[in-house]
Structure 1
């Protein structure tokens, strides 16, 4: 069997893992739909390469407003690899306690909000603290990790707690321990990770269920759609209206944040 077929076979196994979580996916979709229907936001956070999954949720074709993608460049900008803004710094910062608090300090979160925290290992400090702080503020928190990898990994927190310890629901990408799925002959270490594939399947399964719930509730989402599907004029209208709705939702996250000013008062 070629390595290509081996990889695709592993992906098929992940499809089965995702399918087995249908009940949890529906539960997550209901949690997130409730936040969106309330005019609030689902806060989506991932550090490292989990940034990919945040962007898969919103904004991209086939997605819609209701999500607040929290992506810190200091934790996710891998392109330079070494030197200033390099990968070593990002991996270091991912385990700095207190950074999550500074990130969340920017937003006036509500118990009507919810959160999705993505971390394959579920063991790095910043994603764990993001979940912990959101949970302490009364939000429903969903974790997305790789079960086998998380169980075999050691938390970077001193108390040993992992992402799953602060989540109402935890979803499993279905990838193997270490993420890389293919063993090459005469190569000591495996290649070709799988958590992105499994996580994207989960994200889009959730997205589809949410769209159904919003539509049934009489609030059909404004979906970013290609002009090749709906025509250039309609596509432009959808993009503009979706971005505007996102701005309207996001404005609620800033109006009363932190220390009160005359600008934040209701009568101004």
Structure 2
């Protein structure tokens, strides 16, 4: 069997793992849809390559407002690899205690909000503390992890807790321990990771279920769409209205940031 065939076979195994989680995916979609129906947002966070799952949810073709992508460049800016803004710094920073709380200090969250935290290992400090901080704010948390990788890894948080310890729902990408899925004869390190494949499948399954719930409840989503599908002017109108809706939702997250002050104190 060629390596391509092997990877596709592993991919089918991942699909099977995700199929078994359909009921959880639907429960998560209901949770997220309710936040959007309430005029609030679903917060998305992932450090490192988990950032890709954040941007897969929103904004891109086939997606719609209602999601707050929290992407910290210091934790996920990989393309320079070495030197300033390099990978070493990003990997160091994603295990700095207290950073998650500083990030969330920027947002006025509500218990009507929900959150999706993505971390393949579920063992790095910042994603764990992000989930912990959301739960302190009475925001329900969904964790997207690679269960086998999480189970075989040791938490880098001082108390030993992992991301799933601060999650109301857990979804599994189906990727193996170490993420990479293929072995080549004579090479001791496997290649070709699987967590992105599983993550994208889960993200878009959730997205489709949420869109369906919103539509059935009279809030048809403003979906970013190609002009080749809906016509050029309709596509422009959808992009503009979707971005405007996102701006209005984000504005709510900044309205009451910080401690309340009397007018006399200003």
- Fold shared by both chains (TM-score > 0.5): yes
C-alpha distance after superposition, 1:168-211 (max 9, x if no partner)? 00000001110000001111100000000000000000000000
Q: How large is the Cα RMSD of the aligned pairs?
A: 1.0
* Correspondences of 1:83-162 after superposition (within 5 Å): 83-162=83-162
C-alpha distance after superposition, 1:55-86 (max 9, x if no partner)? 00000000000000000000000011111111
Q: Secondary structure at the match of 2:154?
A: coil
Which residue is 1:238 aligned to?
238
Task: Using the TM superposition, give the Cα deviation of residue 259 of structure 1 relative to its aligned residue in structure 2, in angstroms.
Answer: 3.2
Which residue is 2:74 aligned to?
74
Q: For residues 190 and 210 of structure 1, what CA distance do their matches in structure 2 show?
A: 36
Q: Secondary structure at the match of 2:44?
A: strand
The answer as to 2:63 corresponding to 1:56 is no
Q: Secondary structure at the match of 1:239?
A: helix
* Correspondences of 1:220-231 after superposition (within 5 Å): 220-231=220-231
Alignment: residue pair count: 263
Gapped regions of structure 1 (runs ≥ 5): 264-268
Gapped regions of structure 2 (runs ≥ 5): none
C-alpha distance after superposition, 1:23-44 (max 9, x if no partner)? 1000100110010000000000
Task: Using the TM superposition, give the Cα deviation of residue 6 of structure 1 relative to its aligned residue in structure 2, in angstroms.
Answer: 0.2
Off by >2 Å, runs of 4+ in structure 1:
259-263
Q: For residues 225 and 188 of structure 2, what CA distance do their matches in structure 1 show?
A: 44
TM-score, normalised with respect to structure 1: 0.97
Task: Using the TM superposition, give the Cα deviation of residue 158 of structure 1 relative to its aligned residue in structure 2, in angstroms.
Answer: 1.2
